[in-house]
Structure 1
């Protein structure tokens, strides 16, 4: 009975998630991800303790390091999922435009585009999953423009919100939908291509920042291995603790500033 109740509860949660859709501002961690973050946090905390303090009380550094790793991992996963959704959205508009020119209605154009996207991008693509959910909703007579408005609210991507607004206006006014989609697709192509170029340029800078973030610890480790007596005076005394803490504070401030400069938000 307990096993059956537990399975029913999991099924109910899955159905509720399918009904509400994905919240693109959150990320649900798996057990494996928790273990990975814990291992990375322990490794970083051990390295900081070994290179900067060499004291048992410095083991408490694993707590703030774990919080930072948890937050950074969550932010990166959310950003990657939104990038996948954003990059796939241009293909959706292109297929919808082609279907509308072929005489499909708006609803059937969405279904046709969903099938084409599933063939080209695969079932695991995040937008394909969204379109599969839209198809189920359309079967119970939910308006297609309402579904795209819901996606815009959950994703908080301005271009998707703009597309949803254009869709609402096109449905209400009954204008030339094909021409509206052609103009919208042209604008989206320009914006998405520009965003891809920016991300490509920033990715190399992020790689450089990651390398530079490791360099100070590498230099410190090299000095400790090559000239251990040179830094021995920095351990086991109050002055050394304050000096190393100040260096770490400056390092963390530079790391946070670099992250903020290279962040690209939709």
Structure 2
């Protein structure tokens, strides 16, 4: 009986000990942070652009002020001007798109420069890791006063390599967050070449040359289109400036335009200007 009690007591104490150890282990596992998801949340996503509160408020206020001025210029009525000022709520959307395009364009240019640097480093006999570090130094030499997005990404890749993460995973994650065809193609070629044991130097040299030529063509088109964009903006501003001039010099002559059928004509004119603006933006948006 005593031995039975002793065995039972040992089992109960053993079960309690196992339960305590299991509970503490479970608590530790629950409290342990997950490194990769937390890291990915902190890394930038180049397919979106998030406006700050101040930036959003500035966009809404400036847009509302411009729309209010245009509304009062076309209608000379406070109510219509206030109604048109609600268009300022749409400005953050277009400003976000504009800033995203600028950010992605800058990332493309810096990526082209980094590819040339990486190709030169590998041709000189440096390792891939040292090639990425050398690319950071070269980008900082080109722009000493700025820490651009690509320098940040190359620093992240180098940090991952120091922690033992394969370079294939680091490049794949960067291409996923960048969502750019050129970066994705480079990452795919680089990963395939590393796995198959191909001539990495020659592959990177040819890839960087092709991507560089494509970016050069895009820059040439942007330079050619820049003059036409300026001309289109001048043509859109001409009717507005003409209205300002007529209101300042011949106010009585413009009075019929602000009542009755004149307001309908002004509305169609304003819609025509808006349609021309949308049409010009679509025509000038050339993708390669």
Residues 155-194 of structure 1: matches in 2 within 5 Å?
Answer: 155-194=178-217
Instruction: Give 3-state SS (helix, strand or coil) of 1:24's partner.
Output: coil
RMSD: 2.1
Task: Please give the alpha-carbon distance, in whole angstroms, between the structure 2 residues aligned to 1:229 and 1:161.
Answer: 62
The answer for the alignment partner of 2:168 in structure 1 is 145
The two structures have a TM-score, normalised by structure 2, of 0.79
Counterparts of 1:59-98 in structure 2, within 5 Å, are 59-67=82-90, 69-98=91-120
Does the alignment pair 1:199 with 2:249? no
User: What residue in structure 2 maps to residue 55 of structure 1?
Assistant: 77
Distance in 2 (CA, whole Å) between partners of 1:107 and 1:256 is 47
**Corresponding residue of 1:3:** none
- Alpha-carbon displacement from aligned partner over 1:59-112 (angstroms, at most 9, x marks no partner): 021122431x22221111111111111001111111111221232232332222
CA distance in 2, matches of 1:263, 1:151: 26
Distance 1:195 1:103 in 2: 32
- Comparing 116-125 with 253-262, greater Cα deviation is found at 116-125
Question: 1:45·1:65 contact (CA, 8 Å) conserved in 2?
Answer: yes
Asked if the contact 1:55/1:236 (under 8 Å) is kept, the reply is no
What's the CA shift for 1:175?
A: 0.8
Q: Which residue in the other structure is 1:121 paired with?
A: 143
Number of equivalent positions: 250
Cα–Cα, structure 1 residues 145 and 220, in superposed 2: closer, same or farther, change >3 Å?
same
Aligned counterpart in structure 2 of residue 36 of structure 1, from 44, 58, 81: 58
Preserved CA contact (<8 Å) 1:88 1:127: yes
* Map of 2:15 onto structure 1: none
Correspondence for 2:243: 220
**Which protein is bigger by CA-based radius of gyration?**
2
Q: Which residue of 2 aligns with 1:12?
A: none
SS at match of 2:244: helix
Q: How far off is 1:143 after superposition?
A: 2.2
What TM-score do you get using the length of structure 1 for normalisation? 0.85
Taking a change above 3 Å as real, the CA distance of residues 236 and 246 of structure 1, as seen in their structure-2 partners, is same
Equivalent residue number for residue 133 of structure 1: 156
Q: Residue 97 of structure 2 aligns to a residue in which SS?
A: helix
8 Å contact kept, 1:18–1:133: no
Regions of 4+ moved over 6 Å: none
Displacement of 1:178: 1.0
Deviation at 1:20, TM superposition (A): 4.5
Give the C-alpha shift of residue 21 in structure 1: 2.0
Tell me if structure 1 keeps the 8 A contact 2:136–2:154: yes
Shift of 1:121: 2.6
Gaps of 5+ in 2: 1-36
Relative contact order, higher structure (CA 8 A, sep 6+): 1
The CA distance in 2 between the partners of 1:145 and 1:206, in whole Å, is: 41
